[in-house]
Amino acid sequence: MKTSFLVLLFVSLVSFVLADGLEIVPGATWTVPNTGNHLQAHGGGIIKIDDTFYIVGENKTAKPGDNLFQTVACYKSKDLVQWEFVNDILKATAEGNSDLSPEGIIERPKVIYNEKTNKYVMWMHVDKPGYGYARAGVAWSDSVCGDYTYVASYRPLDKYVSRDLTAWVDDDGTGYLFGEDRPTGLVIFKLSDDFLTIDSEVYNFNEHIESPAIMKDDNGVYYVLGSQLTGWAANDNYYSTAENIAGPWSTIITDTATGSKTYQSQSSYVQRVGKTFVYMGDRWSPGNRAGLGASTYIWLPLELNTETRTLNLTWYDSWSIDPRTGDLSFPSHKVYEAETAELENGATAVQADGFYQKGSGVVELGGPENGKLTIEGITKSVKKGLTSILIRYKNDQNVTAYGKLKVGNQKPVRVAFNPTHPQDPWNSPTVNISVIHGFKFPDRVQSLTFEGLESVNVNNTADVDSFLINVW
């Protein structure tokens, strides 16, 4: 008994320390260390099991054809920041059910757990190019990131079409599907006991809302967040509240960041983390040269007022959350300008007027000699633990760029950089930051080196403006 208590205490102290210097940077390139690529969990949702978060979402890597079905990917994390790829849990295939065809479309996969059958059930929007097929598809697995068995797709109750949907489980174990019916609007359906079929209609909002995300506060009040229907382009998202899931639901309210188009994002999911509800949205980038796979994640803490039943979404360039308690903190950064670094192997500092307000230029790296830069003397006044590094960059190329970052004697990591071409016609601005996590800054001084990645193409490296390391 005594031992297990001590072990628990130790584990929780460690996880507290680990969370210290890790940052969520909305809109940035989020490299996953074990794929070396930007997180592919677009239109995704979270499911938490014990102390682990799993994210399941759309992999939109391939271009052209980036809106067609490739895989549904599953990643895991204990802190919502450091993600590890686990499995492609549903894959496009030319055989079997044509819903999974590589010429088809699978969007907004959401996994829920059924306590009665002990199975994980995935609901998803199943479609074909032109979006006229408009069905809700279902699959199941014995483990959250295991291979899923596809069952079927439905037009709910043979009455409605269904596009951008979500699945959600209430505290009493009842499963619900929220589907978007184009003629009438957002509809709530009750799922069967095994969650594999649609049982009955619960409520029709008669409002055109898609991409719903559900949350419930400590008073048992339900909130549904959703977007208007403007294709890939962002809009001011809506929300509505109710004491009973069957209604009446309040008149829809434009989110409190009105005019910002929900910070150029579309709602996808809300995850409760301790006392905090986290808004998770997608900033779609159909015009990005790297395609929809370069779409970024806008995750922000929701400020909830349970008395007035209002939600407020404030923008933070970066923020930190304790994964157990939901305590928030907002780091400030020490900036290390790339042009003040030691440059070798043909790395060149160039003026880039107006590119960034701070600092006068960027450093061109990679190239035929694989130019690199080294910054010495990095110190960090920090509680010990793991830290994120933010890299401000420019990538005018047509494709994702890569580089190799090494801190002190720690293992070098590959870092991805979504394109930031200024002339791209997207309506979703790129945050020119790539963020990478997990570095240790003990009390002694560290150095940092950044260079091209020969295994990819040393010429295909981002130009670097500066490195930002948090100070607390």
Ligand X SMILES: *[C@@H]1O[C@H](CO)[C@@H](O)[C@H](O)[C@H]1NC(C)=O
Residue whose C-alpha is closest to residue 108's, from 157, 77, 67, 145: 67
Q: Which is nearer to ligand X, 97 or 310 (CB)?
A: 310
Residue ranges in 379-408 that form contacts with ligand X under rule CB under 6 A: 394, 396, 398
326, burial (CB in 10 Å: exposed 0-12, middle 13-18, buried 19+): middle
- Among residues 214, 302, 458, 468, which is the contact residue for ligand X, using CB under 6 A? 458
The answer to whether residues 212 and 222 touch, using CB atoms and an 8 Å cutoff, is no
Q: Is 59 in the site for ligand X (CB under 6 A)?
A: yes
Residue 352 interacting with ligand X (CB under 6 A):
no
Minimum CB separation of residue 32 from ligand X in Å reads 8
Q: Is the CB of 118 or the CB of 332 nearer to ligand X?
A: 332
Q: How far apart are CA 304 and CA 219, in angstroms?
A: 12
Return the number of the residue (18 or 41) whose C-beta is nearest ligand X: 41
**Whole-number minimum distance, CB 201 to ligand X, in Å?**
33
Quote the tokens at residue 11: 């584990």
As measured in angstroms, the least distance from the Cβ of 193 to ligand X is 33
The tokens for 169 are: 């489980």
CA distances to 183, 199, 228, 232 from 266, in Å: 21, 28, 9, 9
Closest by CA position to 387, among listed 468, 278, 274: 468
Counting contacts by CB under 6 A, is residue 297 touching ligand X? Answer: no
DSSP 97: -
Q: Assess 351 for contact with ligand X (CB under 6 A).
A: no
Binding status of residue 420 toward ligand X by CB under 6 A: yes
Tell me the C-alpha distance between 343 and 321, whole Å.
36
Query: Radius of gyration over alpha carbons of the chain, in Å?
Result: 23
- β-sheet bridge partners, residue 469: 334, 389
Burial environment of residue 377 by CB neighbours within 10 A (0 to 12, 13 to 18, 19 or more): exposed
| Among 16, 36, 62, 374, contact with ligand X (rule: CB under 6 A) | 62
Instruction: Please tell me whether residue 71 binds ligand X under the rule CB under 6 A.
Output: yes
**314 is an interface residue for ligand X by CB under 6 A:** yes
Q: Tell whether residue 236 is a contact of ligand X (CB under 6 A).
A: no
- For ligand X, which stretch binds (CB under 6 A), given 15-23, 70-78, 137-145, 158-166? 70-78
Q: How far is the CB of 104 from ligand X (least distance, A)?
A: 14
Q: Count the residues of the shown chain that bind ligand X, applying the rule CB under 6 A.
A: 28
Residue 183 found at the interface with ligand X (CB under 6 A):
no
Could you say whether residue 422 binds ligand X (CB under 6 A)? yes
Q: Find the binder of ligand X among 220, 457, 471, 472 (CB under 6 A).
A: 457
Question: Scanning residues 3 to 42, which ones bind ligand X (CB under 6 A)?
Answer: 35, 40
Residues 355-384 that bind ligand X (CB under 6 A): 368
How many Cα neighbours within 13 Å face the side chain of 378? Answer: 30
Q: At its nearest, how many Å lie between ligand X and the CB of residue 114? A: 26
Give me 48's structure tokens.
């938490």
Q: CA distances (Å), 462 to each of 235, 297, 420, 449, in order?
A: 31, 20, 10, 14
Binding status of residue 88 toward ligand X by CB under 6 A: yes
Residues forming contacts to ligand X in the complex (CB under 6 A) are: 35, 40, 59, 61-62, 70-71, 73, 85, 88, 256, 289, 303, 310, 312, 314, 368, 394, 396, 398, 420-422, 430, 432, 457-459
